[in-house]
Amino acid sequence: MNKQLDLEQVLRKSWYRLRLSVRSPSRVPTWDAIVLTAASPEQAALYQWQLKRAVRMGRISDSTVTLAVPDPDGHRIGSGAATLNAILALANYYNNSQVANGGNDGSYMPSESAETEVSASMIDFLKKQHILLLHAGGDSKRVPWANPMGKVFLPLPYLAADDPDGPVPLLFDHILAISSCARQAYKNEGGLFIMTGDVLPCFDASSMVLPEDTACIITVPITLDIASNHGVIVASKTGNSDESFSVNPVANLLQKPSVQELNNHHAILDDGRTLLDTGIIAVRGKAWEDLVTLSCLSQPLISQLLNTRKEARL
Express each pLDDT in 293-314 by its tens digit: 999 988 888 888 888 888 777 6
Is the pLDDT confidence value at 26 over 80?
yes
306 contacts: CB under 8 Å, gap ≥ 6: 72, 73, 75, 77
**Alpha-carbon 251 to chain mean position:** 22
Helix (H, G, I), strand (E, B) or coil at 190: coil
Is the pLDDT confidence value at 147 over 50?
yes
Contact by Cβ (8 Å): 101, 122: no
Confidence at residue 233, expressed as pLDDT on a 0 to 100 scale: 94
Is the pLDDT confidence value at 63 over 60?
yes
Helix (H, G, I), strand (E, B) or coil at 283: strand
Local structure of residue 71 (DSSP, 8 states) = P
Q: Is 173 left (phi over 0), alpha (psi -120 to 50) or beta?
A: alpha
Mean predicted confidence (pLDDT) in 129-145: 81
Confidence at residue 20, expressed as pLDDT on a 0 to 100 scale: 95
Q: Provide the mean pLDDT of the chain.
A: 87
Confidence at residue 300, expressed as pLDDT on a 0 to 100 scale: 87
Tens of pLDDT, residues 165-222: 888 999 999 999 999 999 999 988 999 999 998 889 988 898 888 988 999 999 999 9
Nearest CA to 132 out of 276, 297, 252, 18 is that of 18
Confidence at residue 139, expressed as pLDDT on a 0 to 100 scale: 65
Tens of pLDDT, residues 256-267: 999 999 999 999
Report the C-alpha gap between 314 and 157 in whole angstroms: 30
Q: CA angle 158-161-164, nearest 5°?
A: 125
Is the pLDDT confidence value at 77 over 60?
yes
Confidence at residue 106, expressed as pLDDT on a 0 to 100 scale: 44
Nearest CA to 206 out of 11, 67, 3 is that of 11
Report the C-alpha gap between 78 and 39 in whole angstroms: 10
Mean predicted confidence (pLDDT) in 79-92: 93
Confidence at residue 243, expressed as pLDDT on a 0 to 100 scale: 65
- Written as one letter, the residue type at 111 is S
Tens of pLDDT, residues 280-290: 999 999 999 99
Tens of pLDDT, residues 221-261: 999 999 999 999 999 888 777 766 788 889 999 999 999 99
Contact by Cβ (8 Å): 200, 156: yes
Tens of pLDDT, residues 91-132: 999 988 754 444 454 455 555 444 556 778 888 999 999 999
